């Protein structure tokens, strides 16, 4: 990545911080913030697209569990469902978060009916209504044919162990921060789902119910295994990613709603860091802009909750190395938003300022990438 060395200095900054610990209320525990769970829908769809050959669903970090998957399910690779899933990937690009969008839009097995009616945009536009409906019918048949309930029952003890081991991470998350930061508190639940076969894969997803209810999901992979063969989940390794995935549920709709305003600077910046973004499978300026605001918002969370700022600085350095060379300025701009909530009650009300910020970065960075003889 060609960048003027002066931007290295952007990595080192000082911002006033204060710590805050917020205890969860009984309302959180009774439905708005359920305990972490291994969700059969997520496991099922992850298995299906593993068999379909999607590389992002073929991580083998948790080798004993992955071995069990293949021992049980490889004999069903020729099932009509797997052929259709492969077609959906190759023809429509159904992969990554589109898979998990389908998972959370279904009832728990064995019913597997849509929780809300499918449409051209539901569960996700890469599916389309006709294909989504067909997939669900094939999935129901696969669930019976492949003896999926037998597989899940066999691993029930493992699922309970994973759920218990995730409790310290759950307890560390300030779930109230999201409503405070974005300025809106939709009705619905925030759900942490543990994906045992996902390896390092993590996804954010949301179901928008009629009437305004929103159920958001942070679908978390499993990338650390102890000497006993059981999964390990530490606060340091998992908490920033949970914040990241929950942020997607708020950020993505905002940037999509205001796509026209972000388009010009977004395209210019994407052209300058295209290779870095595509290496991370961020293949459009829209995806890059979503990631940018999500990552900056994670840093704002860390600044509020980490007294010495070490984790925030580490996150900033990581994002900078991934091509988001404007991250320091974006984080500081969001700090202005946080200090002026009387003027900007919601993050959406602050978006015009962020559009101006991106336009400025796009103008200034154009000369940064020019090489003069």
pLDDT at 157 over 50: yes
Q: What is the C-alpha separation between 192 and 217, in angstroms, rounded?
A: 6
Q: What is the C-alpha separation between 338 and 24, in angstroms, rounded?
A: 22
What percent of the chain stands above pLDDT 70? 90
Q: Which residues pair with 341 in a beta bridge?
A: none
The rounded mean pLDDT for the chain is 91
The whole-number average pLDDT for the span 171-182 is 96
Q: What pLDDT is recorded for position 371?
A: 60
Q: What is the pLDDT of residues 177-202, one digit of tens each?
A: 999 999 998 899 999 999 999 999 99
Q: What pLDDT is recorded for position 83?
A: 98
Q: What is the pLDDT of residues 285-300, one digit of tens each?
A: 999 999 999 999 999 9
- Range name among 7-21, 74-88, 208-222, 255-269 with the lowest pLDDT average: 7-21
Q: What is the C-alpha separation between 230 and 339, in angstroms, rounded?
A: 44
Buried b (16+ CB within 10 A) or exposed e, 145-162: ebebeebbeebeebbeeb
Binning pLDDT at 50, 70 and 90, where does residue 307 land?
confident
Q: What is the pLDDT of residues 227-260, one digit of tens each?
A: 999 999 999 999 999 999 999 999 999 999 999 9
DSSP state letters, 281-344 = T--SHHHHHHHHHHHHHHHHHHHHH-TT-HHHHHHHHHHHHTT-TTHHHHHHHHHHHHHTTTT-
For strands 190-194 and 214-220, give the pairing: parallel
Q: What pLDDT is recorded for position 30?
A: 46
More confident residue, 25 or 13: 25
pLDDT at 141 over 80: yes
Q: DSSP alpha helices (H): ranges in the chain?
A: 26-27, 40-51, 63-73, 80-92, 97-104, 129-145, 148-154, 156-165, 167-172, 176-182, 235-257, 259-272, 274-279, 285-305, 310-321, 327-339, 347-368
Q: What is the C-alpha separation between 370 and 10, in angstroms, rounded?
A: 20
Buried b (16+ CB within 10 A) or exposed e, 334-369: bbebeeeeeebeebbebbeebbebbeebbeebeeee
Q: What pLDDT is recorded for position 18?
A: 30
């Amino acid at each position: 990545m060609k960048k003027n060395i002066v931007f290295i200095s952007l990595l080192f900054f000082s911002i006033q911080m204060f710590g805050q610990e917020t205890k969860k209320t009984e309302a959180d525990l009774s439905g708005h913030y359920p305990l972490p769970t291994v969700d059969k829908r997520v496991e099922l769809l992850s298995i299906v697209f593993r068999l379909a050959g999607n590389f992002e669903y073929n991580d083998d970090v948790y080798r004993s569990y992955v071995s069990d998957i293949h021992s049980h399910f490889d004999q069903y690779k020729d099932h009509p469902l797997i052929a259709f899933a492969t077609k959906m990937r190759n023809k429509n690009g159904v992969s990554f978060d589109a898979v998990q969008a389908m998972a959370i839009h279904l009832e728990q097995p064995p019913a597997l009916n849509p929780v809300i009616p499918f449409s051209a945009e539901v569960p996700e536009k890469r599916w389309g209504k006709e294909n989504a409906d067909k997939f669900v019918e094939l999935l129901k048949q696969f669930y019976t044919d492949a003896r999926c309930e037998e597989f899940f029952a066999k691993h029930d003890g493992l699922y309970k162990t994973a759920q218990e081991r995730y409790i310290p991470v759950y307890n560390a998350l300030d779930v109230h921060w999201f409503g405070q930061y974005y300025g809106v508190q939709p009705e619905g639940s925030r759900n942490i789902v543990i994906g045992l076969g996902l390896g390092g894969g993590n996804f954010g997803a949301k179901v928008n119910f009629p009437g305004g209810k929103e159920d958001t999901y942070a679908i978390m992979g499993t990338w650390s295994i102890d000497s006993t063969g059981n999964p390990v989940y530490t606060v340091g390794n998992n908490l920033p990613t949970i914040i990241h995935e929950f942020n997607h549920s708020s950020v993505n709709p905002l940037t999509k709603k205001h796509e026209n305003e972000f388009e010009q600077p977004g395209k210019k910046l994407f052209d300058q860091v295209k290779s870095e973004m595509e290496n991370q499978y961020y293949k459009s300026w829209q995806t890059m802009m979503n990631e940018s605001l999500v990552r900056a918002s994670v840093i704002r969370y860390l600044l509020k909750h980490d007294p010495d700022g070490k984790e925030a600085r580490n996150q900033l350095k990581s994002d900078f190395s991934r091509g988001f060379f404007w991250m320091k300025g974006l984080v500081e701009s969001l700090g202005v938003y946080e200090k002026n909530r009387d003027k900007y009650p919601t993050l959406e009300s602050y978006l015009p300022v962020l559009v101006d910020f991106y336009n400025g970065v796009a103008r200034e960075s154009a000369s940064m990438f020019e090489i003069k003889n």
